[in-house]
Structure 1
Amino acid sequence: MPGTALDTDLLAQTASAVRAAGAVLRDRFGEVVRHRTRDELAHALAANDDAALDVLRPRLTDLRPQARWVDDELAGGALPPGEWWVVDPAEGNVNHLHGLPDWAVTATLVRDNRPVLTAVHVPSTGETGTALAGAGAHLDGRPLRVSGAASLSLSLVATSQARPDEVEAVVRRAGSSITAMLRDALVVRTSVPATLHLLNVAAGRVDAFWQFAGARADLLPGALLVTEAGGRVSDAEGRPWTPDSDSFLASGPGVHAEAVATLSR
């Protein structure tokens, strides 16, 4: 069912919140943040997260006091019933620390394990992508539509690394999938974060995106954006995707079956 008027207003205010948090991170962006140990890196990552959360947490809590908060942005799997805020305060945080522009702030409201609305703000471009279940996806107010590509051989595709220190089986599966896509697709992009690739899929700028493993915070926003923009979302074998799935695929409908075939080899 289309989102209610209340959800429409809630989405607008959620978008305002992620833009405000993005402004805080933009003020912290610039020079490469040097680190010599994992502890130093973790401290720098946490400092960015905390700066954005200082804006996001009170604003989103005021918007939906009854919604619980997912504290671990790397967590996956189904959530208990009810409403939850799934937030990534600095999606692509490692890029921010390295002086690279590919990072964002995201907030998604999940209701009984279904994403209801999402807002993704990209401070480097000033773009804000939004989606409301049943009411479409938009980029700065303009409707989004996935690519009409009909052949994987003419497609720009992308993938992402879900997290550092992934288990060996996932690393091998990801590597073989990139090799397969290099054979079958036109061009393959490999970078983090997932959400920016998925925003590009929803906007028709990238034809397909896949990833193995993953967290709710890096896949739920893009899953809603792509679905509401007319795309297909599944696991890598074409089955319905849920946060419990061990793989993820989003694409325009014209290349989805080919992408599944490539990833299933």
Structure 2
Amino acid sequence: MSSEEQLLTVVTAAVRTAANLVTRPATTPTTMPELAAALAANDDAVSAALRPVLIGALPGSQWTSDEHGSGPMPDGDWWVVDPVGGNMNAVQGMPDWNIGVSLVRDGRPVLAVLHMPVAGETFTAIAGQGATADGVPLKVSAKTDLTLALTGTGQARPGREADRADRAGVAVAAMMRNALYVRASVPVGHQLAQVAAGRMDVHWQFDNLRSHIAPVLIVQESGGVVTDFDGKPWAVTSDGYLAAAPGVHAAALDVLRAVR
């Protein structure tokens, strides 16, 4: 077993255990302080459980749980953790939430785990070795017609900036005119996992946050094409990205390039 495979085994077990710490408040928050406290409680509990295990499994590695961080990363081994992707959903009692972990080495993703506790699925990937869901190899959709494609996007980070909202709306409308279906939801990791599994065909984001690294690697290792909106290969430093099955990527890129 390679060192990456050993790490993946440790991370997968730790993530599954940490998921049991995510809770829903006794009453749904109705004020911003209540909501912030509930979100922080989940993030803090998961981070406290994962951090010592991950750092201990790879001596000398470093940690970041700033899921809204973006841009270049320092050299070395970094555990990039999204403690509760879709935390708002968990707090509200909805099933779409996950825990995501990636290992980034010198700015490049090495491995990824995305665990969806309610769905009972764990997606994993090692760079260059493929991706699986609970041990079953993943493969993206074989579709070649965008008009038959299930597509999606979501709000990668909170915000009400008018220009960002307008751009997102224009892109959704454009894709609705060209694809079979458009889903706008969070967390982003859920949609990317569906692309990796061939259940959805396209996902795009005008943001490229560190919390996306794990599911993007899973899509790539499932045979998906992930680029920026100029068609260049995705990188941690890309401004945004399109992740899609190879047969519909070019058509989807044409739609989004015109409205980005």
**TM above 0.5, one fold?**
yes
Q: What is the Cα deviation at residue 61 of structure 1? A: 1.2
Q: Partners in 2 of 1:86 and 1:197 — Cα distance?
A: 19
Q: What is the Cα deviation at residue 243 of structure 1? A: 2.6
> Are 1:21 and 1:89, in contact at CA under 8 Å, matched by a contact in 2?
no
Unaligned runs of 5+ in 2: none
Q: Partners in 1 of 2:231 and 2:165 — Cα distance?
A: 21
2:107 corresponds in structure 1 to: 113
Which secondary structure state, in structure 2, belongs to the residue aligned with residue 255 of structure 1? helix
Q: How does 1:7-46 map to 2 (within 5 A)?
A: 7-25=4-22, 28-29=23-24, 33-46=27-40
1:258 corresponds in structure 2 to: 251
2:234 corresponds in structure 1 to: 241
Q: Partners in 1 of 2:66 and 2:161 — Cα distance?
A: 19
RMSD of equivalent CA atoms: 1.4
Which secondary structure state, in structure 1, belongs to the residue aligned with residue 183 of structure 2? strand
Identity %: 47
Provide, for residues 109-148 of structure 1, a one-character-per-residue CA deviation record: whole Å limited to 9, x for no partner.
Answer: 0001111001111000111000000100000000000000
2:53 corresponds in structure 1 to: 59
> Structure 2 length normalisation: TM-score?
0.95
> Structure 1 length normalisation: TM-score?
0.93
Per mean C-alpha deviation after superposition, the further-off stretch among 241-250 and 186-195 is 241-250
Q: Partners in 2 of 1:207 and 1:225 — Cα distance?
A: 14
Q: What is the Cα deviation at residue 96 of structure 1? A: 0.4
Q: How does 1:197-216 map to 2 (within 5 A)?
A: 197-216=191-210
2:133 corresponds in structure 1 to: 139
Q: What is the Cα deviation at residue 33 of structure 1? A: 4.5
Provide, for residues 66-106 of structure 1, a one-character-per-residue CA deviation record: whole Å limited to 9, x for no partner.
Answer: 11111422111110111100001101000001110000011
> Are 2:65 and 2:83, in contact at CA under 8 Å, matched by a contact in 1?
no
> Are 1:163 and 1:214, in contact at CA under 8 Å, matched by a contact in 2?
no
Equivalent residue letter for 2:254: A
Does residue 103 of structure 1 match 2:92?
no
